[in-house]
Structure 1
């Protein structure tokens, strides 16, 4: 049996075997696992947060459905990064972050998120 050109090939991976596509200057890494970040297309991505990294308040253009695959995500909402206002989400947690919701996040240990969204996808920082 062959796959239709409209159906992506099957994929199975572990956190340790993710092929990171980009390493950003701040040490975060990302990979698109399935799909594409084009308008109207569903995609699944992985995001690596190094220990001690915190991301300034920002929002995304689309809803994000996230699972913490490794580590512990710390997430808070609002236009000011306040580490005392975050909730902790250990490995196995599910989060839904609505598009346009201003939030900040970080990790005190290496953390990997796996998320699904519908493109287009952008990250918009409040300070830019």
Structure 2
């Protein structure tokens, strides 16, 4: 049963793997402007994802961005590898543990950093404003929801 959920979540995140990468110049540098990011919705709850480097579903380093519309939160979940998150814009609200509790969430402002340890249950999202976070880690890193 757990393996089925992991497969479903991997399939749910596949649209993120089709992000538009910027063209490398003759020296290999890649530049992307905010308007060039193709935010895909991967899990049906309107959280947008874009892959900037690598692939979170494959072995190796990856960088993704997640965009949470106002009022959208993730449910408790975990990842099998550490994830490093930096808040780009908005105030990101973060909670830990299997019990979703908005009153216990800690707000993180732009420039803030949070590390999600491998296997640690957490939830997060936006309350009153759009939030964009950048997530870095080593894949594969599926999202495994806690029921």
Question: Which TM bucket (shorter chain)?
Answer: 0.7 to 0.9
- Consecutive unaligned residues of structure 1, counting only runs of 5 or more, are 4-8
TM-score, length-normalised on structure 2?
A: 0.75
- Counterpart Cα distance in 1 of 2:63 and 2:34: 14
The structure where helix makes up a greater share of residues is: 2
Choose which of 95, 102, 110 in structure 2 pairs with 1:83.
102
Q: Who is 1:6 aligned against? A: none
How many residue pairs match? The answer is 120
TM-score, length-normalised on structure 1?
A: 0.85
- Consecutive unaligned residues of structure 2, counting only runs of 5 or more, are 1-24
Deviation at 1:54, TM superposition (A): 1.4
SS at match of 1:54: coil
Q: Which has the higher contact order (CA 8 A, sep 6+)?
A: 1
Q: Who is 1:30 aligned against? A: 49
- Aligned Cα root-mean-square deviation (Å): 1.8
Deviation at 1:13, TM superposition (A): 3.2
Change (3 A) 1:14 1:115: farther
